[in-house]
């Protein structure tokens, strides 16, 4: 039952947030945080309603085609799909229609009564495509370029119709405002959290030149996550007399990036207690997360901060790493030697490393956790609902 200070929220995404694996777990974390802090959350159907046979046909296609065709087809069929969403909304009385990740799910939706429209994602299709992040990857959808301008027009329409836009990074907030001409009053910076449960405060981290220096990389794609640079960083440190080791979680490096100093956990399922313990142990033992990847956000950096683990990465997209706070973001193009130099500098100054470790944990406790996001989102949404109700009186 809804209480006076809790909102009724309709949650709309192209995948159910009950599946904790999709969207790297972010969809589930957003849903959980809204339920914990904002109100009663009802998951709307992922059905395409009148166009459902087409969705099922695309769903049965190979994954590489399915991923790229489904959202574009959803946009094209939005006038039909949106009627079904409106029908679902009419069965309840919601304060907020909240969209996560799939902007196409919000397209053409005409609510049957006044409500606040809210949306969050770590990127948009156009901003990602044109960014340093997107430019690193080849386009795999034949004909996608023909639709680019049309897609951007639909994005501008969808985001322009939102009352609340919750962007997790300053990079995306600025890019979205500039590219789509969005009202700054509708845009809010709310960093996302880690894709793990609560982590108790870890003990003080120590580092010195006499013991092994443990480097860590987390991700499903060795090359996309910057694995070669992480490996070469380890090698550069070893060449300088530092006993550096590298642990890899989530993927298997090629043979030429493996040696006796590399430990590999090809896949760890955090839903399985034993594997979750191994994952936690990898983070607890490490001295640095070395992940010079190209991505729009990166939950791994939040997870590292939870364990008081400083991150070393590229300054690209919206990676949640602040220099001297929870790690260092080096310029794109920085070499393994430059990453190794950053590590060496901190090894030579154990007090500076300890301070960086402590501030990494503080960044998690204050910002990079889902309770912080949920509380801030609840306040923003409640304010928007109050303003709307006042305007309608």
Average pLDDT score, the chain: 94
CB 346 within 8 A of CB 359: no
- Does the structure show a pLDDT above 90 at 81? yes
Positions of CATH 3.40.50.2000 in the chain = 7-192+369-392, 213-366
Q: What is the pTM of this model?
A: 0.94
Q: For the domain with range 7-192+369-392, which CATH number is right: 3.40.50.720, 3.40.50.2000, 3.40.50.450, 3.40.109.10?
A: 3.40.50.2000
pLDDT score, position 139: 66
**Mean per-residue pLDDT, 211-221:** 95
d(CA 266, CA 368): 26
pLDDT score, position 372: 98
d(CA 323, CA 335): 18
199-208, 247-256, 293-302, 335-344: lowest mean pLDDT where?
199-208
pLDDT score, position 211: 85
Domain 213-366 has CATH 2.60.40.1120: no
Pairwise pLDDT comparison (134 vs 298), residue with the higher score? 298
Edge to edge, what strands does the sheet with 187-189 contain? 39-43, 7-12, 96-100, 116-120, 164-167, 187-189
pLDDT tens column, 111-168: 999 999 999 999 999 999 999 998 887 766 555 578 899 999 999 999 999 999 999 9
pLDDT tens column, 225-236: 999 999 999 999
Percent of the chain with pLDDT over 90: 89
pLDDT score, position 136: 84
């Amino acid at each position: 039952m809804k209480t006076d200070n809790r909102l009724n929220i309709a949650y709309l995404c192209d995948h159910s947030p009950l599946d904790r694996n999709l969207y790297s777990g972010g969809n589930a974390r957003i849903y959980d945080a809204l339920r914990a802090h904002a109100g009663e959350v009802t998951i709307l159907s992922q059905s395409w309603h009148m166009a459902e046979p087409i969705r099922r046909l695309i769903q049965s296609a190979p994954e590489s085609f399915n991923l790229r065709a489904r959202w574009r087809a959803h946009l094209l069929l939005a006038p039909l799909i949106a009627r079904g969403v409106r029908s679902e909304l009419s069965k309840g009385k919601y304060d907020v229609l909240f969209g996560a990740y799939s902007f196409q799910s919000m397209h053409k939706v005409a609510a049957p009564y006044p409500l606040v429209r809210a949306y969050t994602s770590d990127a948009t299709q156009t901003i990602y495509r044109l960014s340093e992040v997107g430019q690193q990857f080849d386009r795999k959808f034949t004909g996608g370029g023909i639709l680019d301008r049309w897609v951007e027009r639909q994005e501008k329409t969808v985001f322009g119709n939102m009352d609340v836009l919750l962007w997790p990074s300053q990079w995306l907030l600025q890019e979205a405002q500039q590219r789509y001409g969005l009202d700054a009053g509708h845009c809010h910076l709310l960093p996302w959290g880690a894709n793990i449960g609560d982590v108790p405060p870890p003990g003080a981290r120590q580092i010195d030149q006499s013991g092994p220096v443990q480097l860590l990389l987390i991700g499903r794609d060795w090359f996309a996550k910057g694995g070669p640079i992480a490996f070469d960083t380890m090698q550069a440190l070893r060449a300088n007399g530092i006993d550096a080791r590298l642990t890899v979680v989530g993927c298997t490096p090629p043979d030429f990036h493996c040696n006796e100093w590399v430990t590999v956990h090809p896949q760890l399922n955090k839903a399985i207690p034993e594997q979750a313990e191994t994952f936690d142990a990898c983070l607890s033992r490490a001295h640095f997360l070395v992940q010079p990847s190209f991505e729009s956000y990166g939950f791994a950096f939040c997870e590292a901060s939870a364990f008081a683990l400083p991150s070393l990465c590229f300054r690209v997209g919206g990676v949640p790493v602040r220099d001297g706070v929870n790690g260092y973001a080096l310029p794109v193009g920085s070499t393994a030697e430059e990453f190794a130099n950053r590590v060496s500098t901190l090894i030579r100054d154990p007090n500076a490393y300890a301070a960086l470790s402590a501030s990494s944990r503080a960044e998690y406790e204050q910002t990079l956790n889902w309770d912080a996001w949920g509380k801030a989102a609840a306040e923003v949404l409640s304010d928007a609902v109050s303003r709307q109700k006042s305007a309608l009186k």
